[in-house]
Amino acid sequence: MIAHSFDRLRQRNPFSSAGDVALWLIAALHVALLVATAFVLFSVSPARAAEPPTCTGEDLLPALQKTDPATYDKIVAEAAKTPNGKGIFWKIEKAGVQPSYLLGTMHVTDPRVLTMPESARKAAAEASTIVIESDEILDEKKAAAAMLMHPELTMFMDGSTIRDHMSAEDAEKLEKGLKTRGLALAAVARMKPWILSSFVALPACELARKAAGASFLDKHIAEDAIKAGKKVAGLETLAEQLQAMADLPVEFHLQALIETLELGDRMDDVIETMTGLYLTGDIGMTMPTLEAVAPTELGKDESAYAAFEKRIVTDRNRIMAERAAPLLAEGKIFIAVGALHLPGEHGLIELLRAQGFTVTAMN
């Protein structure tokens, strides 16, 4: 993640609601891999159309560059200050150990994202072990069990529903947003707001592909590894990922859900814009871009912002780096984790360098 950029964003506007939306959007992609599990666990399935919904999102940056070049230039300048903000594929080296590789991913099924750079595809094919965020995603039953064992992390356990925590107006917006994705609010009303946010944040076309059985990039890489007889390892458990989100105050997730609903159809554009940045390797532009293209009038306090950064970004990056170390000591490892874990002063690249590895961007 872009912790270096987070600090400057807060200094400019410590109550930036756009920053809060951006933070949650990034988290949404991290937990999007759990959406399919939620379908299995709660027996919720989107309505199947004769043809999958067409992705209609528009990359907002080209228009911004033309209509507001000053803002676009600020985004580029901000990104340039982010350590390791350019590139999604990196080589990891240390004397006496065969090289390993690190690929930043997006947890989506977009065919453009699934088409890895040729150098990354070759490195994955030659690796002895494939490492992803959680290897439990390969077993739907195991993933569902992880959620069943910890219902308090994903469900309201006090008898309340999401309607009890929202205004009637916001509940109506949520019901409408879910309906467009083939989901009935009544069927998912006991789910925590961060689970519901995953449904309304991701484009309908993305959810439809997942429901049809398409694998997102990380899972696709791991599945190919299994077919090739390779070892697959995880850096986190699904329970740990669930816990990270559940540790944040429900008020934070409710606010993020409401802000996501406020964006409405623009969410497709926001996701498409993030995808465009991923495909060009401009990961450092993600946060400043989101702040520019997804403003809202709703506000959050600085303490919630900082808590999110620590729990979802810094803490998880540190754990991933620590657990990756003994695997990297073996050599010939291919790690694939969310691209936004890579850059920044507290990103995986800098943490691996602190362990004595040389980490170099691969063009």
* CB-count burial class (<10 Å; 0-12, 13-18, 19+) for 362: middle
For residue 183, tell me if it sits in a domain: yes
Q: How many structural domains does the chain have?
A: 1
For residue 317, tell me if it sits in a domain: yes
Calpha distance 79→83 (Å, rounded): 9
For residue 275, tell me if it sits in a domain: yes
More confident residue, 239 or 233: 233
Query: Greatest CA separation found in the chain?
Result: 63
Residue 289 belongs to what domain range?
3-45+55-361
Tokens 């290897």, located at residue = 135
Q: pLDDT confidence of 51, banded at 50, 70, 90?
A: low
Q: pLDDT confidence of 11, banded at 50, 70, 90?
A: very low
Instruction: Please write the tens of the pLDDT for every residue from 327-359.
Output: 999 999 999 999 989 999 999 999 999 999 999
For residue 306, tell me if it sits in a domain: yes
Instruction: Please write the tens of the pLDDT for every residue from 142-173.
Output: 777 777 788 888 889 999 999 999 999 999 98
Residue 40: predicted pLDDT: 40
Position 214, amino acid: A
For residue 216, tell me if it sits in a domain: yes
314: Cβ–Cβ under 8 A, 6 or more apart, which residues?
A: 1, 3, 346
* CB-count burial class (<10 Å; 0-12, 13-18, 19+) for 148: exposed
Query: Does the model's pTM come out above 0.95?
Result: no
Output the average pLDDT for the chain: 82
Instruction: Please write the tens of the pLDDT for every residue from 171-192.
Output: 998 998 888 877 889 988 998 8
For residue 318, tell me if it sits in a domain: yes
Calpha distance 353→333 (Å, rounded): 16
For residue 50, tell me if it sits in a domain: no
More confident residue, 262 or 338: 338
Q: pLDDT confidence of 302, banded at 50, 70, 90?
A: low
Tokens representing 357? 């590895």
